[in-house]
């Protein structure tokens, strides 16, 4: 395990304080004990999420806290408050776990969270996804480093097997907890795990991740050269040049253009539509994609803008609809132009463009609209270029 330790500690040595996700399972206990061989206990915070989905979960959290106390490590228990869950249990628990840990890290100014996912976890994830898709985006599975709500998540064990970590724990006489849900075949992952997927499947994830990195670089180069935004934030793409890109690069660009989160299958359908239709309109991720013979025009979908007015305090900038940075020297409110009737039209812009603009108002009077009605005390800037 010396190579594991060297890899782990070399990447973390400059970070003064880190958190780890500590369930008490063998993988996370191995992560904690390896950290303690090189780092002071005071530099580590162990976070345990009590999902309260099993009768024994709180007792297990207490046991983990006791182990941490014995080792001199600060332990924090985070409780998931929820109603009874009858479907999608593992996915909902995963999201809650990361939400709770990331929120704690943000509040306590801890920039890094370690998790103990292994090569076995990676192989299981790939096996699950292979049954549904061949897309590199899906088969990339668990990434060695990601972010969750602004917190850096690092997974140092992805190239190391579960059995090796347990052998390490046995060698130092460290106990761990076997989660009873790991034998519950109601869950797809457990059914796959019992089939003992070849650990070499994890290599497919590594290959897919590299494909995605290459396509992301391709997409960035293309966007730098070809993707143009006008003063209203409307994007125009050259269709012929866009069609020449790889499928992964196209997907990256479509994802970049969507204001709201989208599913891979939805983006793939849109990409096929762009390839096969001469002209027309479709919506995705809060945006309208309008096909013209030589271009693709992408604009905000006005009906997806919240109708609720946004308060704008004097001299306090806001980001409106994730698109405009607005500053006013006078207190006012901001609404979408589509919800203000009647509104002076500007014939220089399409109705679609103007309806997606912000309107600054006070006392039911329109004060300013970008490029249509200028006010000396109000400033608009695009915030997403």
Q: What is the pLDDT of residues 358-382, one digit of tens each?
A: 999 999 899 999 988 899 999 999 8
Instruction: Give the torsion through C-alpha atoms of 152, 158, 159, 163, to 10 deg.
Output: 140
**Could you tell me if 330 and 314 are in contact, meaning their C-beta atoms sit under 8 angstroms apart?**
yes
User: Minimal CA–CA distance to 299: which of 349, 344, 257?
Assistant: 257
269 band by pLDDT with thresholds 50, 70 and 90: very high
Contacts for 208 with CB less than 8 Å, ≥ 6 apart: 136, 137, 139, 140, 141
Helices (H), the chain: 2-12, 26-36, 57-71, 89-107, 119-130, 136-139, 162-171, 188-194, 201-226, 239-243, 247-257, 264-276, 351-355
Q: How confident is the model at residue 183 (pLDDT cuts 50, 70, 90)?
A: low
Q: Predicted confidence band at 80 (pLDDT cuts at 50, 70, 90)?
A: confident
Nearest to 31 by CA among 52, 45, 49: 45
| For the ranges 1-15, 185-199, 306-320, the one whose mean pLDDT is highest | 306-320
pLDDT: which is higher, 201 or 4: 201
* 368 CA to centre of own chain: 35
Structure tokens that stand for 75 in this block: 């332990």
Residue 178: left if φ>0, alpha if ψ -120 to 50, beta else—which one? beta
Q: Alpha-carbon torsion 244, 206, 12, 64, what sign?
A: positive
Q: Copy the structure tokens of residue 356.
A: 């997606």
pLDDT in tens, 139-167: 999 999 999 999 999 999 999 999 999 99
- Please, which pLDDT band fits residue 188 given cuts at 50, 70 and 90? confident
Structure confidence at residue 194 (pLDDT): 80
pLDDT number for residue 205 = 94
- Whether 283 has a pLDDT exceeding 70, the answer reads yes
Residue 220, both tokens: 């960035």
**Contact present, 114 and 36 (Cβ < 8 Å):** no
Handedness of CA 85, 89, 92, 97 (dihedral sign): positive
Q: What is the pLDDT of residues 49-70, one digit of tens each?
A: 987 777 778 899 999 999 999 9
Task: State the average pLDDT for the chain.
Answer: 89
Supply the DSSP string of 186-214, one letter for each residue.
TSHHHHHHHT---TTHHHHHHHHHHHHHH
Sequence-distant (≥ 6) Cβ neighbours of residue 345 within 8 angstroms: 351, 354
The domains of the chain, with CATH numbers, are 2-206 (3.40.50.620), 227-300 (3.30.465), 305-382 (no CATH)
Res 3: pLDDT: 64
Question: What Rg value do the Cα atoms of the chain yield, rounded?
Answer: 26
CB-based contact 248:137 (threshold 8 Å) = yes
Per-residue pLDDT at 84: 77
Residues contacting 258, CB < 8 A, separation 6+: 267, 284, 285, 286, 287
258 pLDDT above the threshold of 90: yes
Residue 344 has pLDDT above 70, yes or no: no
pLDDT score recorded for residue 5: 63
User: Sign of the C-alpha dihedral, residues 15, 21, 22, 26?
Assistant: negative
């Amino acid at each position: 395990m010396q190579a594991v330790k060297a890899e782990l500690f070399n990447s973390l040595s400059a970070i003064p304080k880190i958190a780890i996700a500590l369930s008490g399972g063998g993988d996370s206990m191995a992560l904690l004990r390896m950290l303690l061989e090189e780092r002071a206990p005071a530099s580590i915070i162990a976070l345990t999420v009590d999902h309260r989905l099993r009768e024994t979960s709180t007792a297990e959290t207490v046991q983990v806290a006791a182990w941490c106390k014995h080792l001199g490590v600060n332990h924090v228990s985070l409780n998931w408050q929820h109603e009874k869950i009858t479907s999608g249990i593992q996915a909902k628990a995963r999201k809650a776990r990361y939400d709770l840990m990331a929120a704690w890290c943000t509040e306590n100014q801890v920039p890094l969270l370690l998790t103990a996912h292994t090569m076995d976890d990676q192989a299981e994830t790939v096996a699950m996804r292979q049954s549904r898709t061949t897309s590199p985006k899906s088969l990339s599975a668990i990434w060695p480093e990601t972010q969750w709500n602004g917190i850096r998540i690092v997974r140092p064990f992805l190239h190391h097997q579960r059995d090796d970590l347990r052998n390490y724990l046995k060698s130092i006489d460290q106990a761990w907890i076997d989660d009873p849900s790991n034998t519950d075949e109601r869950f797809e992952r457990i059914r796959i795990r019992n089939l003992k997927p070849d650990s070499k499947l994890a290599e497919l994830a590594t290959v897919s991740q590299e494909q995605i990195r290459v396509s992301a670089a391709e997409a960035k180069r293309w966007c730098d050269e070809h993707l143009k935004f006008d003063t209203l934030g409307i994007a125009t793409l050259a269709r012929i040049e866009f069609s020449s890109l790889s499928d992964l690069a196209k997907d990256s660009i479509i994802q970049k253009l969507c204001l709201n989160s989208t599913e891979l299958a939805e983006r793939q359908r849109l990409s096929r539509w762009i390839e096969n239709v001469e002209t027309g309109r479709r919506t995705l991720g809060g945006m309208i994609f309008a096909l013209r013979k030589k271009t693709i025009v992408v604009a905000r979908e006005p009906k997806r803008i919240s109708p609720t007015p946004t308060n704008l305090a004097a001299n306090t900038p806001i980001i409106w609809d994730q698109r405009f940075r607005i500053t006013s020297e006078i207190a006012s409110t901001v609404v979408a132009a589509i919800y203000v009737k009647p509104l002076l039209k500007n014939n220089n812009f399409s109705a679609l463009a103007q309806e997606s603009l912000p309107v600054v108002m006070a006392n039911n009077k329109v004060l300013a609209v970008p490029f249509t009605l200028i006010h000396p005390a109000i400033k608009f800037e695009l915030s997403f270029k």
